[in-house]
Amino acid sequence: MATLYDGKMATIYDAMYQTFVDYDEEYKFYNQLIHEYKCKTVLEIGSGTGNLAKRFQENHQDYIGLDYSTSMIAIAKERTKNCRFILGDMRDFNLEKKVDSIIITGRSTSYLTSNEDVNETFNSLHNNITDDGIIIFDFIDANRFIPYANENQLIIHKAEHEGTDYLRESTWETTLLENFMLDWTAKYYIIQNQEKELIATDFSTVRVFTLNEMQLFLYMNGFQIIKTIDRKTYAYDTYVIVAKKRT
Ligand SMILES: C[S@@+](CC[C@H](N)C(=O)[O-])C[C@H]1O[C@@H](n2cnc3c(N)ncnc32)[C@H](O)[C@@H]1O
């Protein structure tokens, strides 16, 4: 597992992603889809530090967040009031009551590195949505990401949060591991007086997917795709899929 979501790193993540991601726009995007399919209840998987949770809560929606990092959930709870978060793993969870929409946000699918992880996740989603329910999730498009990472040895992202300037330097090992997995090393710096000071290094293995393989994973787990959206999100090209149970 990436250390990015634990302890001190969770706080750094939270600060930097406030710049990387436009959470108002992110909320609008998911909420529009949820409304389009007339869903009343939503489970967000990979709810992280609660940026979407806050917005769902402000709009009085029936929302539950799920994440497997205690540090991320702790920050999410501080950000929201009486919002419900479940400490759990998307590969194996059981809600007390089925929901009519499940969203997996912020490319959290990148951490499903084995085929078993993906199958278990879709199986859990299938078990936890109502018969007419929908799932919505995004993933990094392997076809665009791999050449990009190959051609850009050092990828730099800058962020500013509450008066502090941050810098992240990413290097990707593009000698592909099994399943289009890549090793990602990220160094996080604070910039002070034009000098960069290293505050943390994170190493993780993540997976990017092709649209075709995702279509097949869904089919094999009893889903049919109802919408595919090509979406440029922060830094990397992604696809967003909306799917429902196959009838
Ligand atoms: C890139 S962050 C995205 C967080 C949030 N959606 C956002 O956009 O800021 C990925 C999140 O997925 C969570 N995560 C990764 N694998 C998970 C799993 N198997 N089950 C539940 N949560 C997981 C991590 O703890 C982390 O909070």
- Do 86 and 71 sit in the same domain of this protein? yes
How many independent structural domains does the chain possess?
2
- Do 171 and 194 sit in the same domain of this protein? yes
- Do 137 and 79 sit in the same domain of this protein? yes
Using pLDDT thresholds of 50, 70 and 90, give the confidence band for residue 1.
very low
Place of tokens 């850009």: 152
Checking DSSP bridges between strand 181-192 and strand 62-67, what pairing results, if any?
unpaired
**Ligand 1 touching residue 65 (CB < 6 A):** no
Across 139-168, average pLDDT:
90
Domain span at 219: 3-141+209-245
- Do 136 and 181 sit in the same domain of this protein? no
- Do 23 and 113 sit in the same domain of this protein? yes
**Ligand 1 touching residue 108 (CB < 6 A):** yes
Interatomic CA distance for residues 182 and 180, integer angstroms: 6
Residue type, 101: S
CATH code, domain with 213: 3.40.50.150
Q: Please name the residue whose Cα sits nearest to atom 7 of ligand 1.
A: 106
Distance 88 CA to ligand 1 centre (A): 11
Q: Please name the residue whose Cα sits nearest to atom 10 of ligand 1.
A: 108
Place of tokens 């869903």: 39
On whether the CB atoms of residues 166 and 189 are closer than 8 A, the answer is: yes
Alpha helices per DSSP H over the chain: 7-20, 23-36, 51-58, 70-79, 115-128, 142-151, 211-220
- Do 31 and 108 sit in the same domain of this protein? yes
- Do 219 and 187 sit in the same domain of this protein? no
- Do 28 and 132 sit in the same domain of this protein? yes
Q: For residue 229, what pLDDT is reported?
A: 97
Would the pLDDT of 75 be above 90? yes
- Do 92 and 137 sit in the same domain of this protein? yes
**Ligand 1 touching residue 50 (CB < 6 A):** no
